[in-house]
A and B are shown apart, each in its own frame.
Chain A
Amino acid sequence: MTDVFTTTIVVATIASGIRLATPFLLAALGEAIGQRSGVLNLGVDGVMLLGAFAAYFVVLDTENVWLGVVAGITIGICMGVLYAVITVFLHAEQGVSGIGIYLFGLGMSDLLFQKLVGTPLPIDQFSEWSVPYLSDVPVIGVMLFQHSPMVYIAFLLVPVVAFILNRTTFGLNVRAVGESPESADSLGVSVRRVRFCTIIAGNALAGLAGAALAIELGIFQQNLTNAMGFIAIALVYFGAWRAPGVMAGALVFGMVGAIVLQAKTLGLIPRSASDIAAMAPAIITILALVVVANRFRQPAALTKPYFRGD
């Protein structure tokens, strides 16, 4: 047993956990930004799927992964505009609208895939990028600094999002609009504009998450995300609407997934139990949510459309 847990395996598992956490982190950061301004977006998974397909299709065509990333973000922005118009300008109920977006994304990504591609051809993947010097540090180098660029982008976005929310006037507006839109409005902060921006940003990140996933895996298939977007929403609650908390949640989820994968590879889990093992990340997330949830209050105006007057 002891030789199983050699350093190499532990390092590989952690590195793979970080990799697995990346799309969750991107999507959850986007969702957190939206929720801080009072908008729940249940459509993340649908947007991720559309982003994933757009990225896949563009990379297949151009063999340039970065054009794929741009395509994913662009689709995310388009879906963001759609969702913002529905929820902010037409005041539609956010829960149902989000489910609509999800179903649209789920169906449309598959339809486009069937019509435009048909067979699952592999595409170029991200090439690994080692951080100079840091990647040579023993143990930690392999663990943290030999990843695809998307991993660095996702984790660098954590302090960026935290900084924007906590240290900028825009972030102050976002927090105010999510807690008390009428107060923000009375001080001349446009609730619509703020929510419009956060929805666009959130959906762009969801599109990016999808692109990161498709290019990381180098394929596309029906329901590629397999409800990752919903897990990302749960991670926002887990992370108490704060960027570092969301990152912690994504890492827990990624690590559990990596450990299960590693254990399977090593034959530690019998075949008969492999389905149960595959559920582990979800079960652990739910347990963690139960423990963490309700310790922090959600933004007071979450899911509430804002009407001026009266």
Chain B
Amino acid sequence: MTHSDSQQVDSALPASSIETSLEKAPMLEMCGITKRFPGVLANDNVSFDVRAGEVHTLLGENGAGKSTLMKILYGLYQPDEGELRLHGKPLRLRSPLDAISHRIGMIHQHFMLVPTLTVAENVALGLPSQRGPLTDLKRVSRRVNELSDLYGLQVDPAAFVWQLAVGERQRVEIIKALYRDVQLLVLDEPTAVLTPQEVDDFFTILHEMKRDGRGLIFISHKLQEVMDLSDRVTVLRHGRVEATTTPAQTTRNDLAALMVGRQLDSATRGNRASLTSETPEVFSVNGLRVAGDRGVDALKSIDLQVHAGEILGIAGVSGNGQRELAEAVTGLRPILAGDVLVDGSAITGMTPKKIREAGLSFVPEERMRDGAIGDFSVADNMVLHNHTESQFSSAGFLDFAAIKTHCSKLVQDFNVKTPDLDTPTKNLSGGNIQKLIMARELASNPRVLIAAQPTRGVDIGAAEYIHQRLLEQRDSGTAIMVISEDLDEVMALADRIAVICEGEIMGVLDAGNATREQIGLMMAGVSDAANSQRA
């Protein structure tokens, strides 16, 4: 297939290539890429290539070097050693502009869209206009509509991006890439924000793009998706290529083992909590109504109950009220109506401190914003909430010895890997910061634990450990609510699963016999009742 190097953005799509892509020479090669950062070898002699019309997955834990490699490909970083080649010709990328001019596109994990602009404006941004200095949004809109029809990507070019749901925003990102007629597209964890059904639609589009002869680089943690979608898989670990293989030649477990460097006992799920009608209800939410940041109700009268020794999972697509739920019950967001009860007594409207004293602990979703202070030491962060209590201070003076003893024990108990207690917390890895926060929150053996996205951005090893601790805490009688956008996590941990969509609970399912399809439909807004009628 011949792509001219010209920047004819409005050109027709390349004729679909029927040749078998796998026999062809690579479209893009990254040869012996090495990238060093102070104290870190992010990429160590990495070689990676993509052929036209294939999906090549890049798999690895956080910090394995995937992002660095992709940033090099997108011109954001310069490699210290090694070379990029496009269609066999050496390539130097000094900025995203260079990458774009070689028709390399990237869909970032956090969408690169300007919310206050329309879809057409977002698509046109950064491109030369046919009308010189003036924008030509009519032409752009026409082309967007053509692409929508061609690929089945429904999107209104005149809509403002802030009005769009997450799934629609992703379609805009894809249209942006198609509009630029990318020959190579990097997709950084594109499915993290989609419901299982949306993922299916998304994969259909990717297949369509493959058929056009485009090369796709897919980054994901979800091994099943990787197995379903990829033509080839390259596993990175500690900045090095562990293996390049195909789904036919490997298994999910092998891939996981390659990522982590050891075999994982994936069936961590212990016995499910045995609930009887006598199990006391420790935490409940009745008719909770909460406003979102834009003033619209983020939660519309929801009811939830969590029993002692139970994990209630809250599943849902990002942005459907999960964050507001966590903030409301922990006292960080005003409650418009309804009640929150711990052990039968209302904590509604209390300050976060009073709520903690009532026995509720909180592992927040944004761990570096709401969970820990980056510049504070490990020890300071561990007593952040209770350093004024008599065990750690007297007459306003901190008892450093007591704090140190307490924290050393916690660091050991929770396997927090830190050089010492005085290390600034921001220097720890995401997984260790999360373990630190878990240690702090569980130290008081709370009645109720709210854990929001407990393993997001945490490496597999630490995630496994955190899951284990959550299950242990459940077994010791704590009522736990796990809010997670990772359906696998919810299904692995929860005893019951409540599905949230647009601020409403679509239904509560027993985790033992819930299926992904059932939950997926509820995540998309189909209520449980309607769901069972269809079945």
Contact = CB atoms under 8 A, between A and B. Distances in A.
B125 A183 contact: yes
Interface string A155-194: 0000000000001111111011001101111111110000
A186 B117 contact: no
A186 B95 contact: no
B71 A169 contact: no
Given A168-B134, A169-B134, A176-B125, A186 B114 contact: no
B115 A179 contact: yes
Contacts of A185: 96
B133 A168 contact: yes
Contacts of A115: none
A3 to B, nearest CB: 52
Contacts of B122: 183
Given A179-B114, A179-B115, A184 B134 contact: no
Contacts of A183: 111-114, 122, 125
A269 B500 CA distance: 64
Given A184-B126, A309-B76, A176 B117 contact: yes
B115 A172 contact: no
Interface in B168-222: 176
A185 to B, nearest CB: 6
Contacts of A170: 133
Q: Chain A at the B interface: mostly helix, strand, loop or mixed?
A: helix
A55 to B, nearest CB: 30
B115 to A, nearest CB: 7
A180 B114 CA distance: 6
Given A175-B114, A176-B114, A309 B77 contact: yes
Nearest to B101: A188
B97 interface: yes
Given A175-B114, A308-B76, A167 B135 contact: yes
B366 to A, nearest CB: 16
A297 B162 CA distance: 13
Contacts of A186: 74, 96, 106, 108, 112
A169 B139 CA distance: 14
B124 interface: yes
Query: Which of A167, A188, A297, A300 has most B Cβ within 10 Å?
Result: A188
Contacts of B108: 186
A179 B133 CA distance: 21
A187 B134 contact: no
Contact of A169 (B97, B111, B113, B128): B128
A182 to B, nearest CB: 6
Query: Which of B74, B96, B129 has most A Cβ within 10 Å?
Result: B96
Interface in A281-310: 297, 300, 308-309
Contacts of B128: 169
A188 B77 contact: no
A258 to B, nearest CB: 36
A221 to B, nearest CB: 42
B33 interface: no
B271 to A, nearest CB: 42
B5 to A, nearest CB: 16
A172 B76 contact: no
Interface residues of A, number: 24
Contacts of A297: 116
B95 A188 contact: yes
A189 B126 contact: yes
Nearest to B97: A188
A177 to B, nearest CB: 9
Contacts of A308: 76
A186 B180 CA distance: 13
Contacts of B71: 309
A187 B126 contact: yes
Contacts of A171: 135
Given A179-B114, A183-B112, A172 B133 contact: no
Contact of A175 (B113, B116, B129): B116
A179 B114 CA distance: 6
Contacts of A190: 97
Interface in B118-136: 121-122, 124-129, 133-135
B126 to A, nearest CB: 3
A187 B125 contact: yes
Contacts of B416: none
B96 A188 contact: yes
Given A168-B134, A169-B133, A180 B121 contact: no
B518 to A, nearest CB: 36
B382 interface: no
Contact of A184 (B106, B114, B115, B133): B114
A180 to B, nearest CB: 4
B100 interface: yes
Contact of B115 (A173, A180, A309): A180
Contacts of B135: 167-169, 171-172
A74 to B, nearest CB: 25
A181 to B, nearest CB: 10
Interface string B89-115: 000000111001100001010011111
Given A168-B135, A309-B77, A173 B112 contact: no
A170 B100 CA distance: 19
Contact of B124 (A172, A179, A182, A309): A172
Interface string A182-223: 111111111000000000000000000000000000000000
Nearest to B108: A186
A172 to B, nearest CB: 6
B133 A173 contact: no
Interface string B55-77: 00000000000000001001011
Contacts of B76: 308-309
A40 B501 CA distance: 39
B260 to A, nearest CB: 25
Contacts of B113: 180, 183
B386 to A, nearest CB: 33
Contact of B134 (A167, A173, A180, A189): A167
A173 B135 CA distance: 11
A279 to B, nearest CB: 35
Contacts of A167: 134-135
A302 B148 CA distance: 34
Nearest to B126: A187
A58 B346 CA distance: 74
B100 A179 contact: no
Contact of B112 (A172, A175, A180): A180
Contacts of A189: 125-126
A188 B17 CA distance: 29
Contacts of A300: 115-116
Contact of B117 (A168, A169, A172, A309): A172
4 interchain residue pairs of minimum CB distance? A187-B126, A188-B97, A183-B112, A186-B112
30 contacts: A167-B134, A168-B135, A169-B128, A170-B133, A171-B135, A172-B117, A172-B121, A172-B135, A173-B126, A175-B116, A175-B121, A176-B121, A180-B112, A180-B115, A182-B112, A183-B111, A183-B114, A183-B122, A184-B125, A185-B96, A186-B106, A186-B112, A187-B96, A187-B100, A187-B126, A188-B97, A300-B116, A308-B76, A309-B71, A309-B77
Given A168-B135, A187-B100, 16 more contacts: A167-B134, A172-B117, A172-B125, A175-B116, A175-B117, A176-B117, A176-B125, A179-B115, A179-B117, A182-B112, A183-B111, A184-B126, A186-B96, A297-B116, A309-B76, A309-B77
